Chain A
Amino acid sequence: MTGAAALPRRNGELAFEAPWQGRAFAMALSVIERLGLPWREFQRRLIDQIGAHPDMPYWECWLDALERLVIERGVVAADELDRTRPGR
């Protein structure tokens, strides 16, 4: 079974509404650790995204912040990211 119905429901509530959110969460933690940066280096980009896009869903702000982090830190090039992403 796939989809939100299959996610575990510990503590009475889902940690993530969809699997991709969990992946994005774990990616941010992994990237920060791999780069040896303090968490606030991701957090401040998240704050920027949330502030600039108050109507954007949270996890989309999160993904935007993560993309900015990996581009700004030279992990990926902007055009590499654009090539892999449909319709953006």
Chain B
Amino acid sequence: MSDDDHHHPAPISPVEARARALEELLTEKGFIQPGLLDAVVSAYENDIGPMNGAKVVARAWVDPEYKRRLLADGTAAISELGFGGPEGEHLVVVENTPAVHNVVVCTLCSCYPWPVLGLPPTWYKSPAYRARMVREPRVLLREMGLDLAEDIEIRVWDSSAEIRYLVLPEPPAGAAALDEDALAAGVTRDAMIGTARP
């Protein structure tokens, strides 16, 4: 390495330095392999994300029998589409109806159905979201842009134990005219958490 004063990288933060030091230590001990870490990072940056859940939702919208299986056993039903793995072992799908709106939170940390939604967004992990969604869901949802009439029941699902939840949104108007791919393209991550509607 040369002493090149003209191309200093930005100094790394203490927490980043700790992460690197831990990785080096674990690698020296043969406990982890950097190549395998690369593969995990790549999977969660590219392959595992809400586009998976959107396919599940679209399938449920077009196929009533699939929807029935999905609501009965989320883990088994998503595996039919090839989705599964960590944090998907106990998946429960909760269905929105004209009378009921579901929303998911993890009050204690960040539990989230990785196989169908990938990793959670920063706001989902924030102390404000975690505390307020169970306390004042209607107010918080309105602040987040979802204004629900008072006569719609809001069910808040806390993922802090083993179960991971996915919201099955109601199909949008005009859904019958669209094929599965077009339907999936309109399903947002936030709709599957319950903080938005398609």
Taking beta carbons and an 8 Å cutoff, which residues of A are in contact with B? 2-3, 7-8, 10-11, 13, 15-27, 29-31, 34, 39-40, 43, 46-47, 50-51, 54, 57-60, 63, 66-67, 70, 75-76, 80-81, 84-88
Contact = CB atoms under 8 A, between A and B. Distances in A.
Interface of B: 9-10, 12, 14-26, 29, 31-33, 36-38, 40-41, 44-46, 49-51, 86-87, 108-111, 118-119, 121-122, 125, 127, 160, 162, 189
Q: Is chain B's interface secondary structure helix, strand, loop, or mixed overall?
A: helix
A23 B21 CA distance: 11
Given A16-B45, A27-B32, A66 B22 contact: yes
A47 B107 CA distance: 10
A54 B110 CA distance: 13
B122 A80 contact: no
A28 to B, nearest CB: 10
B23 A27 contact: yes
